[in-house]
A and B are shown apart, each in its own frame.
Chain A
């Protein structure tokens, strides 16, 4: 009989994609009113883990997030969706930590405890697309990224990785492994009432990061993106915008 799986899902809390931000001395600052949510790809990763739980294949699902106090909201949400326990690795801010440092922190927490470590394929804000690969390399685990489908047969996960609109790649990844999810076959679930009630009472374990890990930040600065085109804004009343766009499209011989 298959032993039940111990699963860790890595979660990043990110600003809602509509959040407005400004630059202060070359460093980004989000508006105070910014709403933070679970990174979309991490939500898919959590859903894939919960699918395994639904089939009674898991011993437990743990979630982990590295960041400041506010990330507990994302962890709470993961419990409401159905994760069993949540762990918060407290840092000042997660904004500029390199993916390498985040991966080191998670690796140190995970040790070799878990059978499957799920991550999203990337974060929507930083878009580094590295954390899953780095955790796997640090643990020496097999892994796959960009996963759109997975099926578990005994101690092997068969993954489908999407390469582009035309092509995908299917192969087996033996457990223990790291799976970075691109999208899930099921929509991430809404929390059930019973899980919401359970999560309300649950404590989130707070862990101080090991100081042996240098929380090196990338030496960098930020600017507004360079414009690759001179965008001509069509101004005026709605009618003026409509007529002017019409004439532009007409000149381009598509209308």
Chain B
């Protein structure tokens, strides 16, 4: 029996958060004394630095541009059977979530997505956010194989010490399964405002309308180096462009201060704000999950609080 970690892809290279999955795998390995395999799903994504004596590495003989979910499912499930994997770990990103759950049909196993912690005692229990982040769901693993996807930023990255690329298993893929190329489109990334700002003010669904965003912009203007961003839903509504979206499907930010305004705080959003040094949440719902990850909380209606705050700053500086 063994543990399989499936590397994720970001910017057409191995996503460094793959190392976080290795930490999760180590926790399981320490209990069950199982070998860890790491699978790099493509040959051209600079996976070499993830190859080590500590793990066994396999690479699919496929280019990232030949990506098709069903092809990955077909060959990764072969690997799973061959190495008799009990625990299959993927990363919860838009790239990997496209195919990892489908493995469960192929290998007849349960898949639990978006886990953020792991408890290894007599049984292994995985925990995921549910009910829009309002609750944690704890699932006891009593059957293997099991597939899990790990929320990025939930585990400390593992440090690989002895990188070596001698003993890599290459999984051959016949030409008939290599599809026409798909196109990666990189959007104009001149907008670096979220990378450079000291203070980011985030707007959530609770702002109610595009017009109300003006209040958020006025609020941000109070700070010398600031920017405005939004949750997924605010961008889906077209109130802000997608380049301003924070979360798993958007940007990860690391400002000095992040102020979440009327954002409930789903795990999708929270995954993108962990780099912020100080997190402040303003929300009228005292039970909003955002307060669980904030350093300071203000329970207030933003439409009352923010105008008073702006007034106060203008009168005192």
Contacts and interface: CB of A to CB of B under 8 A. Distances in A.
Interface string B282-317: 000101010111111111100011001100110010
Interface stretch (B18-26, B53-61, B242-250): B242-250
Interface residues of A, number: 75
Contacts of B294: 229, 231
Nearest to B267: A127
A189 to B, nearest CB: 15
Interface stretch (B34-42, B91-99, B165-173, B209-217): B91-99
A170 B139 contact: no
Contacts of B110: 98, 100
Interface in A158-217: 160-172, 182-183, 187
- Size bracket of the B interface: 35 or more
A190 to B, nearest CB: 15
28 contacts: A18-B285, A20-B287, A23-B135, A98-B110, A99-B101, A100-B110, A125-B130, A127-B267, A138-B105, A140-B70, A142-B70, A162-B249, A164-B10, A164-B250, A168-B187, A182-B249, A183-B236, A219-B139, A219-B140, A223-B135, A229-B293, A229-B295, A231-B297, A239-B312, A242-B309, A245-B309, A254-B199, A255-B223
B131 interface: yes
Interface string A9-46: 00000000110110100001000000000001000100
B184 A167 contact: yes
B102 A133 contact: yes
A100 B182 contact: no
Interface string A218-237: 11111111111111111000
Interface string B127-167: 10111111111111010000000000000000000000000
Interface in B254-286: 256-257, 264, 266-268, 277-281, 285
Interface stretch (A64-72, A74-82, A85-93, A143-151): A143-151
Contact of A17 (B132, B180, B187): B132
Given A182-B249, A254-B257, A224 B185 contact: no
B17 interface: no
Contact of A238 (B224, B281, B292, B308): B308
Given A226-B136, A231-B297, A253-B256, A242 B305 contact: yes
A224 B304 CA distance: 29
A126 interface: yes
A28 B268 contact: no
A165 B299 contact: no
A254 B183 CA distance: 41
A111 interface: no
A124 interface: yes
Interface of A: 17-18, 20-21, 23, 28, 40, 44, 98-100, 124-130, 133-134, 136-138, 140, 142-146, 160-172, 182-183, 187, 218-234, 238-239, 241-243, 245-246, 248-249, 252-255
- Across the A-B interface, the 5 shortest Cβ-Cβ residue pairs: A171-B182, A137-B105, A137-B102, A130-B101, A133-B102
B104 interface: yes
A230 B278 CA distance: 12
Contacts of B296: 231-234, 245, 248
A46 B69 CA distance: 23
Residue picked from B184, B205, B223, B238, most chain A C-beta under 10 Å: B184
Contacts of A161: 94, 98
Contacts of B305: 238, 241-242
Contacts of A254: 198-199, 223-225, 256-257
